[in-house]
Amino acid sequence: MGRHADLLPPRLARALRKRFDLPNAPPREALAAFGLEKFPQPVLLRGSLCLPGGKLLDGRPYVGVPPEWLETLAVAGRPEYFLVIENLASFNRHVREVEDSSIVLYSGGFPALATLKAIRRMDALLPADVPFFHWGDIDADGVRILQHIARSIDRPLRPHLMGVDAWSDAAVDELCRHLADPAFVPMEQEELDPQSPLAGTPAQWQ
């Protein structure tokens, strides 16, 4: 699709943005979310993985997983948590600066279909008590991305470093209220230093 993604007919571009509730998404992101890519990008992951054929891979600082491997991808061991990171700079910092047994995935903004399949794969593979987090920009699109991913999995997706208590069941609603406040100032996640989502973990998750 390449550079032609930017030449989408306006009506189609609007339809794709409306479908995914991302009014500001570039045409290329909208196409990728719908799976319309000639060559899907590899999914960037940090963690201990089991590749097709049973080969173990310590993916540090991270590895690029071809979309064709996603259906048979497995996890070696039990990760402390699973974290989706929207921004590439924040992803690169987290995988290098936060040392733990987590699995960390780069969403690339609004997740492409292959990326969403990887997230669903992790949801299906990992034990129910492994918490899932999303670290995105503190703005309207960041919340929409979080909500889209949350609707795609079967466990809670908690906002990490997004200005609310990640462990509150009302965290996303609170974040939406902040965004509706005229005095609210959006913040890009690059402005924050990475840290483990398990810092200050409630007792039931320890």
Residue 69 belongs to a domain with what CATH number? 3.40.1360.10
* pLDDT for res 180: 87
* pLDDT for res 53: 79
How do the pLDDT tens digits run along the chain, 206 residues long? 444 444 455 665 566 555 555 555 555 555 555 555 566 789 999 999 998 778 899 999 999 999 888 888 899 999 999 999 999 999 999 999 999 999 999 999 889 888 999 999 999 999 999 999 999 999 988 998 999 999 999 999 999 999 888 888 889 889 889 888 888 888 888 889 999 999 865 544 44
Domain annotation covers residue 33 = no
Q: How far apart are CA 136 and CA 93, in angstroms?
A: 14
* pLDDT for res 35: 52
* pLDDT for res 75: 94
Domain annotation covers residue 28 = no
Domain count, the chain: 1
Cα dist. 167→66, 99, 170, 174, 204 in Å? Answer: 33, 22, 9, 12, 11
In DSSP terms, which residues pair with 159 in a beta bridge? 134
Range of the domain at 149: 39-194
Domain annotation covers residue 172 = yes
CA proximity to 72, closest of 58, 95, 55:
55
Q: Calculate ∠ Cα 125-112-103, nearest 5°.
A: 35
In DSSP terms, which residues pair with 48 in a beta bridge? 58
* pLDDT for res 60: 94
Domain annotation covers residue 5 = no
Domain annotation covers residue 91 = yes
**HEC-encoded secondary structure of the chain:** CHHHHHHCCHHHHHHHHHHCCCCCCCHHHHHHHCCCCCCCCCEEEEEEEECCCCCEEEEEEEEEECHHHHHHCEECCCCCCEEEECCHHHHHHHHHHCCCCCEEEECCCCCCHHHHHHHHHHHHHCCCCCCEEEECCECHHHHHHHHHHHHCCCCCEEECCCCCCCCCCCHHHHHHHHHHCCCCCCECHHHCCCCCCCCCCCHHHC
Domain annotation covers residue 164 = yes
